[in-house]
């Protein structure tokens, strides 16, 4: 006697770039997945703000809703895909679905960064599930890698390019000599940029993603006050060229370091100079790259598309397949109380490093008055803070009575550099606040 396959009902809340991508690709591969999983996948409905908006992916008007709660409470909906973004309504939607014991699939890194602890607790207390592969690094399966494939490791360093928009901007500025604004318009058109673009351009989106990686690797939800968060607005075409003169490329990086013997960790996102021969220096365009240095595996680097409709849809559909496994009764459960207890135990064993403990190599650019002895004053201040200069290149600006000085340092504490910069800013011969970038040499 044949039994009819289990019906899986999907509710997609948010039908913009990602939501439409998910349904476009799922509709195309549904038959194959249904045979493979032994289920019948059905789109129960999508939820949007403006139902009259013209969309690239068409679905019957009867399936378009504007009330997310009505859709998620429909008993036919087993999997709720939260693809609307934001943290207020998205939080309510996510928690309501989890309270109902439904499986939630999310691409919302801002929400997880801010409310991850509450969401994960709700999962463990209400028996639903929460999958979030698309929240970090688009199509790269980094969440699964940390949770499953690389679970044997303790990570001393996780360093990566995890904002596709910043990487796209920096790459095209460098390769085509284009202005920032011109490239930003293309990034918007391609669906890479967040609705609030400051999240991308000011480094906040990368911070959200780094916090998620740090939690999975070290069990700690790192608060913003303990981190360095810088975007790419201050980086000019001139800096990109100067970095090349020093043998580096500028990339927007997230860096999570852990010192197991001293018990500290650091988390920072910032534009950094990377040596030209490193793998991450060659990750271009909208691609993301993440190097993970683990005590068992060594350094592994994953590279792939980090933003945009298709890459993100790939990750969401991967989660939907995991969600179906759970609904079919798979014994594997993630975010159980045992998982949370083990993350909490990891997290209590680590503290954030102080600025004295963080050693960094720096690149500085400053405009100096073209006058006898001005560079000597700069070097005196650096020497007072025991900052050793590795390389200097000076560029004269003909007819302007000013010159641009760029220099790189050997590793020095963040606190020493902070003190030196305060003194440098007070010099009357330093014409503008110096641009300070970090130099980072990844393992790979």
- CB 317, min distance to ligand NAP, A: 13
**Of 49, 102, 50, residue with least CA distance to 72:** 102
Name the DSSP class of 355.
Answer: T
Question: What is the distance between the alpha carbons of residues 212 and 158, in angstroms, rounded to a whole number?
Answer: 12
191 binds ligand NAP (CB under 6 A): yes
Residue 15 or 343 with smaller CB distance to ligand NAP: 15
Handedness of CA 221, 148, 111, 139 (dihedral sign): positive
Is residue 209 flagged as an active site residue?
A: yes
Give the contacts of 200 (CB within 8 A, at least 6 positions apart). Answer: 163, 165, 166, 192, 193, 194, 231
Answer yes or no: are the C-beta atoms of 207 and 408 closer than 8 Å. Answer: no
122 binds ligand NAP (CB under 6 A): no
Give the contacts of 36 (CB within 8 A, at least 6 positions apart). Answer: none
Residue 134 or 292 with smaller CB distance to ligand NAP: 134
Q: Round the CA-based radius of gyration of the chain to a whole number and report it.
A: 24
141 binds ligand NAP (CB under 6 A): no
Length of the chain: 444
Residue 155 backbone dihedrals phi, psi, to 5 degrees: -100, 115
- CB 282, min distance to ligand HSE, A: 18
Site string for ligand NAP, 88-117 (x = CB under 6 A): -x-----------------xx---------
Q: Which candidate in 7, 30, 109, 209 is catalytic?
A: 209
Other residues' Cβ atoms within 10 Å of the Cβ of residue 286: 23
Q: Which of 7, 31, 36, 53 binds ligand NAP (CB under 6 A)?
A: 53
Q: Which of 10, 22, 37, 48 binds ligand NAP (CB under 6 A)?
A: 48
Residue 21 or 219 with smaller CB distance to ligand HSE: 21
The partner residues of 403 in beta bridges, in order of sequence, read 368, 396
Instruction: Give the residue closest to ligand NAP by C-beta.
Output: 16
Q: Which of 18, 77, 79, 212 binds ligand NAP (CB under 6 A)?
A: 18
Answer yes or no: are the C-beta atoms of 288 and 161 closer than 8 Å. Answer: yes
- CB 194, min distance to ligand HSE, A: 5
3-state secondary structure of 204: helix
Return residues touching ligand HSE (CB under 6 A). 138, 163-165, 192-194, 200, 205, 306-307
Residue 216 or 381 with smaller CB distance to ligand HSE: 216
288 binds ligand NAP (CB under 6 A): no
- CB 114, min distance to ligand HSE, A: 15
Residue 19, CA distances (Å) to 13, 166, 361 in order: 8, 23, 42
440 binds ligand NAP (CB under 6 A): no
Q: Which parts of this chain interact with ligand NAP (CB under 6 A)? A: 14-19, 47-50, 53, 68, 83-85, 89, 107-108, 134, 138, 191-192, 194-195, 307-308, 312
Catalytic residue numbers, as ranges: 209
């Amino acid at each position: 006697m044949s039994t009819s396959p289990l019906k899986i009902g999907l509710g997609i809340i948010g039908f913009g770039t990602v939501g439409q991508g998910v349904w476009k690709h799922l509709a195309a591969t549904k038959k194959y997945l249904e045979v493979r999983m032994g289920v019948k996948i059905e789109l129960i409905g999508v939820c949007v703000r403006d139902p009259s908006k013209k969309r690239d992916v068409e679905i019957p008007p009867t399936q378009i809703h504007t009330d997310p709660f009505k859709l998620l409470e429909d008993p036919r909906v087993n999997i709720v895909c939260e693809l609307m973004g934001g943290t207020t309504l998205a939080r309510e939607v996510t928690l309501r679905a989890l309270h109902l014991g439904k499986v939630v699939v999310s691409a919302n890194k801002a929400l997880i960064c801010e409310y991850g602890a509450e969401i994960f607790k709700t999962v463990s207390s209400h028996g639903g599930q929460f999958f979030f592969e698309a929240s970090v690094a688009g199509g790269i399966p980094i969440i699964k890698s940390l949770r499953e494939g690389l679970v044997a490791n303790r990570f001393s360093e996780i360093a990566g390019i995890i904002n596709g928009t910043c990487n796209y901007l920096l790459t095209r500025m460098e390769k085509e000599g284009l202005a920032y604004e011109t490239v930003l318009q293309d990034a918007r058109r391609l669906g890479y940029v967040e609705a609030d673009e400051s999240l991308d351009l000011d480094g906040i989106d990368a911070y959200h993603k780094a916090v998620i990686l740090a939690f999975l690797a070290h069990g700690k939800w790192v608060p913003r006050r303990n981190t360095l968060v810088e975007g790419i607005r201050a980086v000019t075409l001139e800096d990109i060229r100067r970095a090349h003169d020093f043998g580096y490329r500028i990339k927007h990086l997230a860096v999570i370091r852990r010192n197991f013997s001293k018990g500290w960790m650091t988390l920072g996102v910032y534009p950094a100079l990377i040596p030209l021969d490193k793998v991450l220096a060659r990750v271009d365009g909208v691609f993301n790259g993440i190097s993970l240095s683990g005590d068992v595996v060594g350094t592994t680097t994953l590279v792939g598309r980090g933003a945009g409709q298709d890459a993100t849809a790939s990750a969401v559909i991967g989660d939907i397949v995991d969600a179906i496994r759970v609904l079919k009764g798979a014994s594997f459960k993630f975010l159980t109380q045992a998982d949370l207890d083990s993350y909490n135990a990891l997290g209590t064993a680590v503290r954030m490093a102080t600025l004295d403990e963080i050693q960094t190599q720096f690149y500085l650019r400053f405009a100096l008055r073209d006058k006898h002895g001005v560079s000597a004053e700069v070097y005196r201040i650096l020497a007072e803070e025991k900052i050793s200069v590795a390389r200097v290149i000076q560029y004269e600006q003909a007819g302007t009575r000013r010159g641009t000085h760029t220099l790189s340092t050997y590793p020095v504490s963040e606190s020493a550099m902070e003190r030196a910069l305060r003194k440098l800013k007070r010099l009357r011969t330093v014409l503008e606040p110096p641009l300070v970038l970090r130099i980072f040499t990844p393992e790979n």
